Chains A and B, each alone.
Chain A
Amino acid sequence: MATLLGFFCIGGFAAAAIRLELFTPAADVMTPDAYNRMFTLHGTVMVWFFLVPSIPNTLGNFLLPLMIGARDLAFPRLNLFSWYLFVSAGLLLLLSLLLGGVDTGWTFYTPFSTMFSNGYVMLAALAVIVAGFSSIATGLNFIATVHMLRAPGMHWFRLPLLVWAIYGTSLVMVLATPVLSASLLLIVAERAFGLPVFDPAQGGDPLLFQHLFWFYSHPAVYIMILPAFGVISEIVTCFARRRVFGYRFMVYAILWIALVGFLVWGHHMFVSGQSLFASMAFSFLSFVIAVPSAIKVFNWTFTLYRGQITFEAPMFYALGFIGLFTIGGLTGLFLAAIPIDVHVTDTYFVVAHFHFIMVGGAVTALYGGLHFWWPKLTGRMYPESWARLAGLTMFFGFVFTFFPMFVMGFAGMPRRYQVYPPEFQAWNVMSSSGAVLLAAAYLLPIGYLTWSLFFGRRAGDDPWDATGLEWRTASPPPRENFFELPVVDEEPYLYHPEATGPHHSAREPHRNQGRNAR
């Protein structure tokens, strides 16, 4: 099955890469209509066709069975089916783009999307619905795999944190995505068959759409960021040679985020006209959900504390992630506070905030994870100094691009505007030039990773001296993942004896999880 999984990784990754290519922002060279279509395309593709499936479908598909000691995912054919669904959804979206595009923004707000928009809204909505089926199928498969296929002795509290993170993500996927399908279905029904559910002239309620939409789309944020949390936990513990600080609390934090993520959707609607009481409840819950995220940041920091840190490329990405995610998370608290949110709603402040989480967080983690597990995926090492360069460039390019947005957003620059007052120009120029740097940093790895496929140094089974089960098999893994199925009788992350760590100058030999079993 590893061949199929490998195919999945390439397929999923190539699909993601092509989509990335398609996105070219150029605000001065197009008509306003084209501009609207462009940011819609960017949002739709990036959210549903890149970020939501990125880590689960590439790293997760490959690593989840390896990390729990299984031969494959629980339902291999369903897995392939979900890939077909994803590709056909991508084709549908591409079709809507070729025919002329969509101009509603990725949020498809009614009544614009149902009554006024002249783009191919139906086609795009159908594409998103089909992609939703694909992510439901994937999530279902992951949940069943974690429940049913753990190796003997792999208890729930011995699971690596990436597995926990993907498990939490899958729960959210399975329970939130159908609501998105339902709300988009209502839009399709209104446009295609004239069922005027959101038409205020017929007594319908356009706000209802926002409620349904954000009931999915806020949890979707956690679909994107939770797997990133998992990846970072794995990298930080490995290159600090420390056990994960507060393993159980990391697990509870993941589950808490997955649960409370369903209860905060109203904070997108502070200015949409909901009761003050509802706004205050949602504001409070949004502060509540910041607590587990903060727990995770503090625990990573404590894992680093007194660790024997080495700066391989994945660690660059991981440390960058912690910094960027902290800024993104803290500005999230600004937005959870109603008075500030009313001031900055629909400005670049919001844009900067979610790009810090999505791009600075999720994409950085994807790149970090890709480098970390690249030897396992391909059996080859990537060129280290190039990778460090790319990692650094990505961090600086990112901050350069998105930090100015906080400033101009707070000064009042609205999002989704093509033409803006000249006093914002300096900030916009900074942001755009940073984007060039960022683009270079994203393209660089594609080049040297491809090079390393053919010319990279051979990686051993365990090039990082890491502890997880995935490092106990060959790189790349054989078709059925393990030559002999592992048995686990120890806790995860055995980088040093329990309770006391070695002195920072003395590196202890680590013990692979389950190495001494039998």
Chain B
Amino acid sequence: MKPVPLLHEPWRSTQRQERAASFGMWIFLGSEALLFGGLLLAFAATRALHVEGFRAAGRATDVALGTANTLILLTSSLAVAIAVEAARAERRRLALGGLLAGLLLGLGFLVVKGFEWHSDIAKGLFPGGAALQGMPGATLSSSFYWLLTGLHGLHVLGGLTLLGWMGLQAWRRLRPLRSPGLEAAGLYWHLVDVVWVFLYPLLYLDGRA
């Protein structure tokens, strides 16, 4: 099979192309940071008005599943980091294995999250639900819970699609292992992880100390 070229238009060297890919991704991550930053600011401003309600809603979340998911996502990020390093060293089996592990763990995160959402609805933990009646502010906190976890879930899905697609291409040798796209996708996956690291204490640990 003819090897797929690494260098694309309009670049003159692979090194520069690679730097540009991660540079572009970093800019995008900055943009994403402001997306979640805006929402977290709204969260903080609203929480300042209703501290007790937010604490009560924080206590009502399922901290066991949340903690498990934190561990799952952090491990997944580790696997992807290993995969990207291995790809850079042209160690094909390790790279693809790491990607696969990262993907499976990411899927696992979504599955656990799905069960958690399901039980939240069963328990009435949603705005207007039975469990939140008579707790001023808890409705708002729950709004943010659904919005933030939902948006984060979409990002997980996006990251998985990106990693899966690139992994598949690399596996079928349609994409060189050292492709800058793979590294950029890895960066994006770490962002998804970092966002969760912020969401976890804000949504699950509030009111438990």
Please list the residues of chain A having a beta carbon within 8 angstroms of any beta carbon in chain B.
1, 65, 70-76, 78, 136, 140-141, 143-144, 147-149, 174-179, 181-183, 185-186, 189-190, 193-197, 202-205, 208, 211-212, 215, 480
- Distance (Å) between the CB of A231 and the closest chain B CB? 24
Q: Is the CB of A194 within 8 A of B38?
A: no
Q: Is the CB of B10 within 8 A of A178?
A: no
Bound-state Cα–Cα, A445 to B34, Å: 40
Residues on B with C-beta less than 8 A from A203 are 49-50, 53, 136-137, 139-140
A170, closest chain B residue (CB): B27
Q: Is the CB of B27 within 8 A of A72?
A: no
Q: Is the CB of B42 within 8 A of A144?
A: no
Total B residues in contact with A, Cβ cutoff 8 Å:
37
Known contacts: A76-B9, A149-B10, A178-B32. The answer to whether A205 contacts B49 by CB under 8 A is yes
Could you show 5 A-B contacts with beta carbons less than 8 Å apart?
A: A179-B37, A193-B146, A196-B127, A197-B46, A212-B41
Residues on A with C-beta less than 8 A from B147 are 185-186, 189, 195, 197
Q: Is the CB of B140 within 8 A of A196?
A: yes
- Distance (Å) between the CB of B127 and the closest chain A CB? 6
Residues on A with C-beta less than 8 A from B30 are 174-175
Bound-state Cα–Cα, A136 to B32, Å: 10
- Distance (Å) between the CB of A157 and the closest chain B CB? 21
B53, closest chain A residue (CB): A203
Residues on B with C-beta less than 8 A from A196 are 127, 139-140, 143
Please list the residues of chain B having a beta carbon within 8 angstroms of any beta carbon in chain A.
9-10, 16, 19-20, 23-24, 27-28, 30-32, 34-39, 41-42, 45-46, 49-50, 53, 127-128, 136-137, 139-140, 142-144, 146-147, 151
- Distance (Å) between the CB of B147 and the closest chain A CB? 5
B19, closest chain A residue (CB): A148
- Distance (Å) between the CB of B6 and the closest chain A CB? 16
Q: Is the CB of B34 within 8 A of A175?
A: yes
Bound-state Cα–Cα, A190 to B39, Å: 14
Known contacts: A175-B30, A178-B38, A182-B38. The answer to whether A202 contacts B10 by CB under 8 A is no
Residues on A with C-beta less than 8 A from B32 are 178
A175-B34, A178-B35, A202-B127 given; 7 more Cβ-contact pairs under 8 Å: A1-B9, A71-B9, A76-B9, A147-B23, A148-B20, A186-B42, A205-B49
- Distance (Å) between the CB of B151 and the closest chain A CB? 7
- Distance (Å) between the CB of A266 and the closest chain B CB? 14
B16, closest chain A residue (CB): A148
Q: Is the CB of B46 within 8 A of A204?
A: yes
CB-contact partner of A215 in B38, B49, B127, B151, under 8 A: B38
Residues on A with C-beta less than 8 A from B35 are 178-179, 181-182
Residues on A with C-beta less than 8 A from B10 are 1, 65, 70-74, 76, 149, 480
Bound-state Cα–Cα, A205 to B144, Å: 13
Residues on B with C-beta less than 8 A from A75 are 20, 24
Q: Is the CB of B143 within 8 A of A205?
A: no
Q: Is the CB of B31 within 8 A of A205?
A: no
Known contacts: A178-B32, A178-B35, A179-B34. The answer to whether A205 contacts B45 by CB under 8 A is yes
